[in-house]
Amino acid sequence: MKRVLHDDVTPVRTKPFPSWPVYGDLEKQLLMEVVESGKWGGTSRIKLEQFEEKFAAFQNASYAISVNNGTIAITAALLAAGVKAGDEVIMPPYTFIATATAALMFGALPVFVDIEADTLLLDPEKVEAAITPRTKAIIAVHIAGAPADLTRLKEIASKHDLQLLEDAAQAVGAQWEGVGVGAIGDIGTFSFQSSKNLNSGEGGIILTNDKELADRAWSMANVGRVRDGAWYQHEEIGWNLRLTEFQAAILLAQMSRLESQCQLREQNAAILTDLIGEIDGIQLLKRDPRITRHAYHLYMFRIASDLAGRIDKADVIKRLQAEGIPVAAGYVSLNQNKAIIAKTKEWSGEDRLYSCPVSERMCDKEALWLTQNVLLGDEQDMVDVATALRKVIRFYS
């Protein structure tokens, strides 16, 4: 009796999970090479060139344009794809706010289409109903590092003559049917912000297999210049969105560990899936078999709907954190964000409100996250997560 009581008050774990970022001598060495070269950025590119080539190859893309963050990467990609002020861009509401702000930055209007409950990804079967004569593009967001259904979304995009963008900010290393994401649609973007699976503090990149799109994206990031044109030949309105050589040095060094980290996250995610799949009250997400590699920027799972209906998600999180598990609540559904609603009205002159009940329910009641660094631990770390979950869920039964 005493023993049980003791077990219940002692946290499952007090040991921290692996810290992030991971770095070593290679970061220092490559950074010093940049310092001592005097080529720190601008147009004297040394490491940037190498990094762009390496990253494009890693994601099976032909062209890469590095930029200074993942948000502006989406903006530049939308502009390169021909999206203009007043055009509609279909996207899921279950994503980081940047997916929407990237469009609103220049007056393009986000149109929110709900997600699937079992994947938390854009529901392709709801996309067509949202297409209007003003629709120009669809953004497939590979949330958590799980590719959206690119095959179906490509079909829909080409049938309606729309551009398909991939917001792959969370999907470094992810593959759909054996091909790296990012350039499976017309154009795709990644983020190298500090929390992301490949990071240089800040940073981003645009990938595509289309030379014309690549040249336009390059122009957007290089003050409207013409690639291979004269120095003061500006034929577009663009900005200076360039990454620095310091960041490229860090990214190259980080890439030396990327493949093994991708493999470790997949391994640990599989262990975790086995362990927590058996817990009554926990609902795992479905993984499409065409996802040949999940990037696991996040490990997402759900409180099962029947349980979620009668308990408080914030309370579950509080209890899990008290057990030493750094679980997070995740997003507020973007269709409910007041700033987005107001900016959309400002640009369009209309009240544009979207109902996305699945996304709202996942945000408010069901979805829970673990961040990628948790998956860089060992098997015992995964066992601890499952033990804590079992303990907390048992409390409600």
Ligand X SMILES: *Cc1c(COP(=O)(O)O)cnc(C)c1O
DSSP for 36-89 reads HHT--STT--SHHHHHHHHHHHHTT-SEEEEES-HHHHHHHHHHHTT--TT-EE
Of 90-98, 241-249, 255-263, 388-396, which part binds ligand X (CB under 6 A)?
Answer: 90-98
Q: Which residue number, 58 or 389, has a Cβ lying nearer to ligand X?
A: 58
What is the end-to-end Cα distance of the chain in Å, rounded? 20
Of these, 119, 135, 191, 359, which contacts ligand X (CB under 6 A)?
Answer: 191
Decide: is 95 part of the binding site for ligand X (CB under 6 A).
yes
Tell how strand 135-141 and strand 88-91 pair up: parallel
99 interacts with ligand X by CB under 6 A: yes
Q: Does 169 bind ligand X (CB under 6 A)?
A: yes
In the complex, the smallest distance separating the C-beta of residue 169 from ligand X, rounded to whole angstroms, is 3
**Nearest CB to ligand X, comparing residues 108 and 307:** 108
Nearest-approach distance from CB 44 to ligand X, in angstroms:
24
Look at residues 270, 287, 278 and name the one whose alpha carbon lies nearest to residue 382: 270
Task: Give SS3 for 210.
Answer: coil
Q: Does 96 bind ligand X (CB under 6 A)?
A: yes
- Interaction of residue 70 with ligand X, rule CB under 6 A: yes
245 binds ligand X (CB under 6 A): no
d(CA 131, CA 114): 14
H/E stretch holding 166 reads strand 163-167
Q: How far is the CB of 194 from ligand X (least distance, A)?
A: 9
Q: Tokens 């010093």 map to which residue?
A: 32
Dihedrals phi, psi of 268, to nearest 5 degrees = -70, -35
Span from 41-49, 66-74, 112-120, 309-317 in contact with ligand X (CB under 6 A): 66-74
| Given 66, 69, 135, 254, the residue binding ligand X (CB under 6 A) | 69
Binding residues for ligand X, rule: CB under 6 A, are 69-71, 95-96, 98-99, 141, 167, 169-170, 191, 193, 204
